[in-house]
Structure 1
Amino acid sequence: MWFYKDDYTKPVFTSEEQVQSEHGNKGILELPKTAILLYMKGLDYIKEKYDVELITEHFPGFLNACPLYKIKGQNEICFLDGGRGAPMAVDTIEICKALGVQNIISVGSIGGFESDIEIGDIVIPDKAFVEEGTSLHYYETIEYSTPNDDLFQRLVQFIPDCRVAPIISTDAVFRQTFYKETLWRKKGCVGVDMETSALMSVGRYLGLNVASVLMVSDKHPIHEDEVWQWRMTKELRQQMLFQVIDFALSLSYT
């Protein structure tokens, strides 16, 4: 744990300072209030279906300088690649916050390790257990993080065929052992990713409304004599992503 309750000093540099720095992008003053962050392939699918407009080639993240888009004629949402892993995910939402974003919807994939979950299932996590290190720079202790309740409830109502369940987020792709996944199942988790717990914990810390929509991309074997499977398809990703965009367009936060 790297949060010190007696540390009242300010950061060496902040997300607001990053935006205004030469390393950032001084041309962006404010973003739409809702941002869709992609943690899987998706930008090409959006461009195929929607008439998109480039906001900037250089989102002013410290780690994640990527293109940033919106739908033409629509100023309520923007979308961008959220990065990979908890540090890049949190860099992205810190910068989004500095640029006026209020609502974050992350779209990604999880490895499923529960017996009755299948590839292509959509999971909206009601909690994400923390096995990544980034959250522990914002909280003295934290076991799990949760989504913004209002955004979460709206998502669940909008995507009625989703599954609501806990997941876990980890930094170590190749240390997802059979022993650990047994312990994760005992917590009620159905899958694992690398970003969600940090997005929700730091989002709450920053006062952002954050929720995640995840698709089971691969099925982990439960026993060591079984085979790991990856069968996620372009069509499955498209279906989920378009549902999320339709949801974001329907938001009417005051």
Structure 2
Amino acid sequence: MCDDTRALSAVCGMSRSVMVPLADTHVHLLAGLDDGPPTPDVALAMCRLLVAEGVRHATALAHQNPGYPDNTADRLRAAAAALAVQLAEQKIPLSVHPTGEIMLTPATLDEWRAGRLLSVGDHRQWLLVEMPHDKFVDVLPLAEALKPEGVGLIVAHAERYGPLLDDPALTAQWIAAGCRIQVTARALADPWEPGQDEALERWAKCGFIHLLGSDGHGIDRRRPVLAAGVARLAKWVGRAQARRIAGEWGRAVLEGEPFTVPPCPPRRGWFTRLFGG
């Protein structure tokens, strides 16, 4: 048994043969459509690795941005359906959910309303969005525009965005507007920037982490792993909350079920306790 699987078994307080099912809400599994797996064989190998990690639900996503103009919603749907057939044929017990990783642009709202963008799981409830390269965008105007349509934003790999990670007040504001925060499991297990560990622990303890993703792209690089990140999360918030974030909430989002999170703590007392002043 690999170290990550042992870690997950310990997190869940269960035997090695039984694990709480996880949901990977950010993994590139559509072969040849972006910078993810180049071939179907690599995509299937990634799926097997996810299953070994305890994952039973995962996005089958690809980028939707100006760099991949051919990645229409219909193209992603068809590729995800083909992958689901392959998984069934290979008897790999992983449910995949078609999703677009949408780069924010001034045209995002118009593109969504025109049917060009693919929501998480194709349920028209959540859009998985990322920032433009080397830019930070305020998502509140888009979040407010989408709210009457019953659509919310999930901020992909949110740990990448220093202006958000380092500003709990801004994070709380985005969450209050209906946004949900997704964090990359590898960033929890092995932070790669100074101060990232402390900032993510603060997020976790404030209830700001709602979903986990591996951001897996392949087997030789950026492997789709979750377990070590789940173990780290459990040290900060406890096993039950880690299971909720890494499993229950993720599965609900991918399957189109209702998904609510506790309200953020009151601002005055919460900031005073955490940061003083």
Q: TM-score, normalised by structure 1?
A: 0.30
Q: Which has the higher helix share?
A: 2
Normalising by structure 2, what TM-score? 0.28
Which has the larger strand fraction?
1
